[in-house]
Amino acid sequence: MTDSTESPTLAGAVVRDLLYCRRCGYSLRGLPAEGNCPECGTAIWQSVIHTVDPAASRLPKLRNPRRVGSALFWLTLSIFLAGVLYAAESVQFELIGTGNGHWYTPPWLPEGQLRIASGVLGLLGLIAVARLIRPQAEAPARIIQMNLSWLAIGLAVWSLVILVRGFIEVTGLIVTPVTIPWLVLIGDIAAIFGLWGMRGIFIAVGLRSREYRTSRSSRQGAKSMMAAVCGDALGRIFQIGLLRGCADDRYLPISEIIIAVSSLMLLIGFAYLVMNSWWIRRSLRKPPPQLDEILQYPQQDK
């Protein structure tokens, strides 16, 4: 009921020929917009708002909606794939853990290479951010620019941290046991900034998609993803503490389970974000018709 009740002036408006009753499909051509469907009695206004999405048509127009929609989709897809490659090892621990507290890494899953591929994918996501970065909207451009900066910085640092980690693993460079958890912790902090920026962009651009705006169950919230990142960070802090000798090494698997569960939550979150950005892309590419394309107003005033 939120955006449907605020009806613009309907007085005297008549339906042009594009509109069919949303309930029975009857052609409403030429009927007054304030009336009811002659076949089933549904208010014609219901069919109008179903087709038009008045809330979205009140928002400032994006300069290049097709590009924004595609960039958002490729961005979320590249981060999702980067996350899959990155977390493959943590999540598989949960599935085929060996119980001795060490990663089980089968020879067909060389973790270092996976990590490097993941970092490269993350950096590729920056291309999508760059495509979003020029002022795209007429009005709220400044807030969007700020969110894009957070997103770009967060994604860049996260990808670089993963690349460094992959490099260490591939070359077999000797590092202290706490180096990797520290690196990942830095990546987690960067991820929180990046997610914060992404949240702002989804709010601003997503309003233009009715499916995204009104979905309750399938819309991925950034806050729960940030919570998952915090979970991972906590696992790392726990790990650093244990490796430093603050408590018994036997508790190490607990930190690994925390990390695995957090990673899994993040991956599921990103899978939803990919779907959400697909919705947004779809409605930006093919926006619903404007109100004046559906209704014909009487001549004297607008």
- In the bound complex, what is the minimum distance in angstroms from residue 42's beta carbon to Zn ion? 5
Output 21 or 33, the one with its CB closest to Zn ion: 21
Kindly state the smallest distance separating residue 35's Cβ from Zn ion, in Å: 11
Q: How far is the CB of 294 from Zn ion (least distance, A)?
A: 16
Nearer to Zn ion, 6 or 39 (CB): 39
CB 20 → Zn ion: shortest distance, Å? 8
Binding positions for Zn ion, rule: CB under 5 A: 21, 23-24, 26, 37, 39-40, 42
Identify which of residues 25 and 135 has a Cβ nearer to Zn ion in the complex.
Answer: 25
Amino acid at 136: Q
Main-chain dihedrals φ then ψ at residue 27, nearest 5 degrees: -75, 125
Decide: 131 and 71 in contact? Cβ < 8 Å: yes
Report the residue number, 44 or 144, with the smaller CB distance to Zn ion: 44
> Closer to Zn ion at the Cβ: 42 or 51?
42
Contact at 8 Å (CB) between 92 and 109?
yes
Cβ(292)–Cβ(77) under 8 Å?
A: no
Nearest to 241 by CA among 182, 173, 164: 182
Angle at Cα 78 formed by Cα 262 and Cα 76, nearest 5°? Answer: 70
* CA gyration radius, the chain: 25
CB of 41 or CB of 60, closer to Zn ion? 41
What is the closest distance, in whole angstroms, from the C-beta atom of residue 49 to Zn ion in the complex?
15
- C-alpha span between 15 and 34 (Å, rounded): 10
Question: Shortest approach of Zn ion to residue 39 CB, angstroms?
Answer: 4
Distance CA 277, CA 202 (A): 8
Residue 26: CB minimum distance to Zn ion, A? 5
Residue 92 CB, shortest distance to Zn ion, in Å, is: 54
Alpha-carbon gap, residue 146 to 141, rounded angstroms? 9
Q: Pick between residue 26 and residue 104 the one whose CB is nearest to Zn ion.
A: 26
CB 284 within 8 A of CB 71: no
β-strand pairing of 295-296 with 14-15: antiparallel
Tokens representing residue 108 in the block: 């067909």
- Is the CB of 25 or the CB of 221 nearer to Zn ion? 25
String of DSSP letters for 175-190: --TTHHHHHHHHHHHH
Whether residue 63 contacts residue 136, with contact meaning beta carbons closer than 8 Å, is answered with yes
